[in-house]
Structure 1
Amino acid sequence: MCNYLFVYGTLLEGEGNHGLLHHARPIAKQAKTKGKLYDTKQGYPMLDIDSEHIVYGEVYEVTDQLMWKALDELEGYIHEGHKDNEYDKVVQTVETDQGEFEAVVYVASDRSLLHEFIPSGNWRVWKEDLLEGMLYFAYGSCMDNDRFIKHGVDQHFQDCLGRAVFKGYTLRYNHVIHDGGRADMVEEGGVVEGKLYRVPPEAITYLYGREGVDNNGYRPAIISVEHEGKMVDHVLTFFVLNKEKEVAPPDHYSTEIIRGATGVLSEEYVQKLIEQVHALKNSDVVNN
């Protein structure tokens, strides 16, 4: 039996039914699988099998049979092929930063519940009322106020709460375009420091455009970060959609990151950023 479980709704960390997974082993917080995500309008989503769209979620290892029984009860799964199943259970490939897994996924059986398609494939992002503004974690060039001034949007990023930390991730330059790499956070251990902002809706609209959300650049995600010794939930950030082999960023981009980080992030981390860019440039020279 497959012991890996892909979750994408109320079983996600921080959501209402996550407690059912209290003894499960977390494998990946950034995971994706094929499917179309729908809002049932009953407080939870439902994944419909589909090969053209992506759903984002988390992966856990579940070895306790009583836990599987509780999960089946939650999802309205009686047994395979039962006409009254609300969800069915399938095993399909799930992609993570650590590699691919074959995982159990609860998918739509009662299709009358598929009310509204969620284009982002992300239940947490869908739930957030972005029209009200929210907290935003910047870790790349969006830490640089000079860039905001250049784009005429600096007024939307004046409420900077200071340094925040995202644990379990490493900064990589694996969004590769014509002149070099752009920043991403990869789930491989480590720590990423960044700036925590409270931003209005206008800032979110700007960020969606700048990050190329509609052009397969970055995808929005809701995370939890540490700020002033406390965990802060419901924070918007962006991850690279299609991760490539890391390459050095162009000078103008790395300058923006260092300039934005200096004086807010820890001196140790800023130095690490500088050394990382130098190492990548040296590596590119050697490889070329």
Structure 2
Amino acid sequence: MVYVFVYGTLRKGESNAYLLKNAICIAEQAWTNGEMYDTGNGYPAIKPSLTLRVYGELYLVTESELERLDQLEGYTSGSTNNLYERIEQTVYTDRGEKEAFVYVEGNASICKEEIHRGDWKEYRLLNKQKKPNHKILYFAYGSCMDDKRFKMAGVEHYFQNVIGVGLLTNYSLRFTYCSKIDGMGRADIVEEGGHVEGKVYEIPIHALEDYLYIREGVPYAYRPTFVTVELNGKKVEVLTFVVAQKAEETPPPDWYAEEILRGASGYLTEDYIARLTEHIHFLK
């Protein structure tokens, strides 16, 4: 079996994800170096880069699954006329790094519009802003569970529709962002096992760039990503934010911890709130 990093239509919820339905997902939150482009044909391509990042998922696949991926990507070993080339490079996850196969463009002419933040799913989502009534599900697990700063910013109308509590498995809540303002921690979800509870809001898509991207410091502090939560007995894909460059855990300031716990009260389970409170106290 071999590792393969996917960043476009093979990702969860995308049109070709069925090709990986039996593969082992090693990490949903993975990245590698690359420069991403829209081909204009409903799928992206990447070029090698030493500095830019491409976000996607890491899988462990069989030889037969790899053959099907080669067919999809128009790759034949030894050919000089491939649509994509299959190369091996380092892929980074919350649990470490792996050497994995990555499909990069084999013909530069297919690379049309650059996708600056390197996330195909985010890029496609933001293109839906052309539909002003489009709504999305947003998973808040930290201070955005509290409406205090929503009211201060005059955006509380975006966050009126709390449709339930989401349960995110295989992640833990950690404080891996060290604020440049006070040197203390801010919340993050890390793909390392455990579970995280949070509020799921239905929000208009323009609330992202109008407010949440600014508040979360996208793309330098946090980046948007997609996870699957259990919500009202169903599994649904939601947008959330994770720390872009994780650091060692740092205790949060008291006011920030209060926002998280105040927002959690009355929504999240008492057991989860107790464990979260204990973890905050442990860091101090």
73, 79, 98: which one pairs with 1:75? 73
Residue matched to 2:245: 242
Residue matched to 1:159: 161
SS of residue matched to 1:219: strand
Change (3 A) 1:273 1:52: same
Pairwise CA distance, 1:148: 1.1
| 1:11-90 aligned within 5 A | 11-62=10-61, 64-80=62-78, 82-90=79-87
SS of residue matched to 1:128: helix
Residue matched to 2:260: 257
Pairwise CA distance, 1:202: 4.2
Change (3 A) 1:202 1:71: closer
| 1:185-264 aligned within 5 A | 185-205=189-209, 206-214=211-219, 216-233=220-237, 235-264=238-267
Aligned equivalents of 1:176, 1:93: Cα separation in 2? 26
Give the residue type in structure 2 aligned to 1:156. Answer: Y
Higher mean alpha-carbon deviation, 131-140 vs 167-176, is at: 131-140
SS of residue matched to 2:248: coil
Give the residue type in structure 1 aligned to 2:146. Answer: D
Give the residue type in structure 2 aligned to 1:66. Answer: S
CA contact (8 A) 1:6 1:103 kept: yes
Pairwise CA distance, 1:156: 1.2
Aligned equivalents of 2:164, 2:17: Cα separation in 1? 30
Pairwise CA distance, 1:222: 2.1
SS of residue matched to 1:77: coil
Structure 2: runs of 5+ lacking an equivalent = none
Residue matched to 2:96: 99
TM-score (norm 2): 0.94
Aligned equivalents of 1:72, 1:200: Cα separation in 2? 38
Aligned equivalents of 2:169, 2:7: Cα separation in 1? 21
Pairwise CA distance, 1:50: 1.2
Structure 1: runs of 5+ lacking an equivalent = 282-288
Aligned equivalents of 2:240, 2:165: Cα separation in 1? 14
Aligned equivalents of 1:56, 1:9: Cα separation in 2? 9
Aligned equivalents of 2:52, 2:122: Cα separation in 1? 16
| C-alpha RMSD of matched pairs (Å) | 1.3
CA contact (8 A) 2:2 2:63 kept: no
Aligned equivalents of 1:72, 1:102: Cα separation in 2? 18
Give the residue type in structure 2 aligned to 1:213. Answer: V
Q: How many residues align?
A: 276
Residue matched to 2:138: 136
Query: Structure 1 runs of 4+ off > 6 angstroms?
Result: none
SS of residue matched to 2:14: coil
Kindly provide the CA deviation profile for residues 8-44 of structure 1, in whole angstroms up to 9, marking residues without a partner as x.
1111122121222233211111100000111111111
Aligned equivalents of 2:12, 2:174: Cα separation in 1? 24
CA contact (8 A) 1:165 1:192 kept: yes
Pairwise CA distance, 1:200: 1.7
Residue matched to 1:112: 109
Pairwise CA distance, 1:248: 0.7
Give the residue type in structure 2 aligned to 1:274. Answer: T
Aligned equivalents of 1:57, 1:137: Cα separation in 2? 19
Q: Percent identity?
A: 48
